[in-house]
């Protein structure tokens, strides 16, 4: 990590994690939490939440999930995640790991989850390849992600403002075509439902949720 990156992480990165839950509260209360909940209903068996952040999904998984692994690489987010998820919670563990490099065996999970993560990971293709690697044949990837706008005018603004937004959003790329990235991965897209991120700036308002699977 460069000196500039270390300074950014120690200052804005730390502050971003500190205010993250508060900043998303309006969106969560206005429908984002329900969208997460509905999407995660399809999770089952051994499940991994990739880029778990501060643990917004932790209490939304169904009883069909027999083991839950929360993976998060950011130390500031990880601190809040540990505070929210008790280490003694049965069947729940927190792991410090990036989505692009996971310390798990091949074909060891039934479900993998990305929510508001694929916009930020440095290498989404590598993250999706890792998700496919750790999924069992027939395993599911569930996602809720803000994406590149279909409207050409808004997409142009996303392109123009991507760099300043990335600085403000702690690495968030507002113009990523996440559905295309999933389609280009080893996974097969099963369902995509377009929508919008409630109470969000226009740059990050276009949203999709859905599922993909690994061929059995």
Write out pLDDT tens, residues 32-48: 999 999 999 999 999 99
Distance CA 200, CA 196 (A): 8
H-helix or E-strand containing 45? Answer: strand 45-50
pLDDT band at 178 (very low <50, low <70, confident <90, very high): very high
Nearest to 70 by CA among 51, 91, 45, 46: 51
Q: What is the pLDDT of residue 2?
A: 79
Q: What is the pLDDT of residue 10?
A: 80
**Topology of domain 3-213, CATH:** Rossmann fold (3.40.50)
pLDDT reading at 150 higher than 80: yes
Distance CA 9, CA 149 (A): 29
Q: What is the pLDDT of residue 9?
A: 81
Distance CA 39, CA 107 (A): 22
Each residue's pLDDT tens digit, 54-96: 999 999 999 999 999 999 999 999 999 998 886 556 799 999 9
Q: How is the chain split into domains, by residue range?
A: 3-213
Distance of CA 8 to the CA centre of its chain: 21
Nearest to 118 by CA among 136, 104, 130: 130
Nearest to 213 by CA among 145, 144, 139: 139
């Amino acid at each position: 990590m460069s000196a500039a990156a270390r300074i950014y992480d120690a200052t804005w990165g730390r502050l971003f994690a500190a205010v993250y839950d508060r900043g998303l509260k309006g969106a969560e209360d206005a429908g984002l939490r329900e969208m997460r909940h509905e999407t995660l209903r399809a999770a089952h068996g051994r499940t991994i939440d990739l880029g778990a952040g501060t643990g917004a999904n932790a209490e939304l998984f169904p009883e069909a999930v027999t083991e839950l692994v929360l993976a998060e690489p950011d130390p500031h987010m990880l601190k809040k995640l540990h505070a929210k998820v008790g280490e003694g919670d049965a069947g729940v563990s927190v792991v410090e790991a990036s989505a692009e490099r996971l310390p798990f065996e091949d074909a060891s999970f039934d479900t993998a989850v990305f929510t508001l993560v694929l916009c930020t990971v440095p290498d989404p293709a590598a993250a999706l390849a890792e998700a496919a690697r750790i999924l069992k044949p027939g395993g599911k990837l569930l996602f809720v992600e803000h994406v590149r706008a279909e409207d050409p005018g808004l997409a142009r603004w996303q392109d123009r403002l991507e760099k300043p937004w990335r600085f403000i959003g702690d690495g968030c790329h507002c113009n990523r075509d996440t559905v295309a990235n999933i389609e280009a991965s080893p996974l097969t897209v099963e369902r995509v439902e377009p929508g919008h991120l409630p109470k969000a700036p226009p740059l990050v308002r276009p949203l999709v949720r859905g599922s993909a699977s690994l061929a059995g």
